[in-house]
Amino acid sequence: MAPPTFPQGMNLHTIGYAALKYPDLAEELPVPLVNQIGALQRVGGEHQDHMIAQLGSRYLTALLEYQASDNALLHDPTSSQYYFSTALCLLNFLTGSPDVCIGIAKHPAVVHDVVEKLLDPNVEATMRACDRSSGPQFPPATFEDDFGSLLQFVSTILLYVDQPETLHPRIRELIPKCRIWTRTYKNSRVRTISNAASRLVMQIQGMDPAMKAQLKTLQAASLLCGFSGCGKRSDLTACGGCRIQRYCGREHQKKDWKFHKHLCNKGLEEVGDEDNNVE
């Protein structure tokens, strides 16, 4: 059925465009991705869960492919895209869905690249120096915002791998760095830095299985049937195409296909705006 109404004039296209076409923005809403995600984060509950599932079902593959591409900005240390690209920014938001996390974990090169950059002895200084300009109307994200998001991204994906070394063979070298970051940023405005760094130490050393299972259970609570108005959150089956959108049974999946077929792994260019705002 129809997607939820996105806040402040956003839709699936404006979000995907800002993530995959940096520095360009969609003509109908020329707002940077970080500002769009900020608005999405203020939408809670079932509404946000539906949005994450629909964004993930449409863009996960495209985001992973973009992040692993040869786009020049992704390989330029003077650009904010080098450390925390718009694609990675959207992926980090979508990790609210365990199905998205599983999809990312199946492409370890993306997380490997993030860990490799965090291992750089000069990562903080280089990140602080990169260009984050986003236009006079929109204050850019800060170094602390991006740094905390990077650490959070790695920590979340680690919940879905059995051995941390599968993401990066030198990941244990992050342990002393994370201990320092935990202390250095304990009074930072961005609490995510200290919290994620502390959690990464536990995860890399070997998190207690019961705690790991509890965290994954909390994430699984975000799953719900994609059929509008159903709301069921248990005994769900994932779409065989995108592996993100879930359904309580074949009946609701069949009824929802009229809408979902326009999203399922379609990426950026396949759907017109008329498909994004149907009530």
**Is residue 274 over pLDDT 60?**
no
Residue 43: exposure state from Cβ atoms within 10 A (0-12, 13-18, ≥19): middle
**Is residue 124 over pLDDT 50?**
yes
What average pLDDT does this structure show over 190-201? 98
| 279 confidence band (pLDDT: 50, 70, 90) | very low
130 vs 140, higher pLDDT: 130
176 vs 45, higher pLDDT: 176
Domain ranges of the chain: 12-132+141-261
| 270 confidence band (pLDDT: 50, 70, 90) | very low
pTM of the model: 0.93
Which H or E run includes 144? helix 143-158
In the 8-state DSSP scheme, what is residue 246?
E
| 107 confidence band (pLDDT: 50, 70, 90) | very high
Please answer whether residues 3 and 51 qualify as being in contact, where contact means their C-beta atoms are separated by less than 8 angstroms.
yes
CA distance 273 to 6: 12
pLDDT of 132 reads 84
Map 93-114 to HEC letters. Answer: HHCCCHHHHHHHHCCHHHHHHH
Other CB atoms within a 10 A radius of the CB of residue 41 amount to 11
CA distance 109 to 126: 22
| 137 confidence band (pLDDT: 50, 70, 90) | confident
pLDDT of 3 reads 55
Residue 256: exposure state from Cβ atoms within 10 A (0-12, 13-18, ≥19): buried
Please answer whether residues 156 and 148 qualify as being in contact, where contact means their C-beta atoms are separated by less than 8 angstroms.
no
Map 204-217 to HEC letters. Answer: HHHCCHHHHHHHHH
pLDDT of 133 reads 75
171 vs 269, higher pLDDT: 171
**Is residue 230 over pLDDT 50?**
yes
Cα torsion 95, 99, 105, 106: sign: negative
